[in-house]
Amino acid sequence: MSVPTLDVRGLAFAYPDGHQALFGVDLHVHPGERVALLGPNGAGKTTLVLHLNGILTGGAGSVAISGLPVEKKNLAEIRRRVGIVFQDPDDQLFLGTVRQDVAFGPANLGLKGAALDRRVMTALDQVGMADFADRPPHHLSHGQRRRVAVATVLAMEPEILVLDEPSSNLDPASRRELADILRSLDVTLLMVTHDLPYALELCPRSVVLSDGHVVADADTLAVLTDESLMAAHRLELPWGFDPRTVGSLPA
Ligand SMILES: Nc1ncnc2c1ncn2[C@@H]1O[C@H](COP(=O)(O)OP(=O)(O)OP(=O)(O)O)[C@@H](O)[C@H]1O
């Protein structure tokens, strides 16, 4: 078996106020997998994600990215390997043009000149935003800004792309376009979402976190059709949505 891209073992974490948000979480994601991280509000999903690039540390257990432990001394390389796309694209876009925003990360890694331009345009091409390179990000629609936010992370050539609620605030067409883009990327993906049809569309495997514990780790269709699991952990499909008619993606 290959070295997991993401290897979380026995991760436990309490916030400074004493609230225990994670209890011995294990999560292994292998190269090329697309995994949905599901769970009700307050389950610990964000807390887990913030451990993947060392924004949060200090709990018990371990996290490694392609064999490299998430530790203070490795943080620069860990943050290149783990690309997190936050829910609000405006958290990631703060410069005058799309090109500058996408260039920011790789320029910090020392890329310049033609190599930097190539890196930027490749990332923008991957999300279908190359024609917008010289536009100010704040002139773009929410869906376009979300795609540029994905490009800022892809430009770092990460080993794992972590997306927090990628389908939120998107109209149906933008939602579908982003799904097509994400499916076309040759990257390991972990997607936090409450949008269960999106999880089924994009991720062959789903992990359910509830009250800080992993309570399921299985084929997404199996998770979404397990009525007692769904009810016990406040997971609800949209009215009239039958996951069986969509089916599961090949693993
Ligand atoms: N800074 C903090 N201090 C104390 N407790 C916190 C803090 N941040 C989060 N928590 C608590 O930790 C638990 C897990 O929160 P977390 O944000 O990780 O859940 P989540 O699964 O991402 O929820 P959501 O789906 O609502 O985003 C919750 O009970 C939350 O109230």
* pLDDT surpasses 70 at 217: yes
Residues having CB closer than 6 A to ligand 1 are 15, 17, 19, 21, 39, 41-47
Closest CA to 205 of 6, 2, 69, 53: 6
Long-range contacts of 108-111 (CB under 8 A, 24+ apart): 109/80, 109/156
For range 177-197, the mean pLDDT: 94
**Into which CATH architecture does domain 6-88+159-241 fall?**
3-Layer(aba) Sandwich (3.40)
Domains of the chain by residue range? 6-88+159-241
Strand-pair category, 213-219 with 60-65? unpaired
* C-alpha 103 – ligand 1 centre gap (Å): 32
The reported pLDDT for the residue numbered 89 is 85
45 residue type, one letter: K
Indicate if the pLDDT at residue 251 is higher than 70.
Answer: no
For the stretch 89-142, pLDDT in tens is: 888 888 899 999 999 999 998 999 999 999 999 999 999 999 999 999 999 999
Residue with the two structure tokens 């389950």: 43
- DSSP category for residue 238: P
Is 21 a residue whose pLDDT tops 70?
yes
Please give the ipTM for the structure prediction: 0.97
pLDDT at 250 over 70: no
Distance 42 CA to ligand 1 centre (A): 5
Residue among 17, 27, 47, 191 to mutate when testing ligand 1 (max atoms within 8 A of CB):
47
Chain centroid, CA 55 distance in Å: 15
Report pTM: 0.94
The yes-or-no verdict on residue 32 having pLDDT over 90 is yes
Rounded percentage of the chain residues whose pLDDT exceeds 70: 98
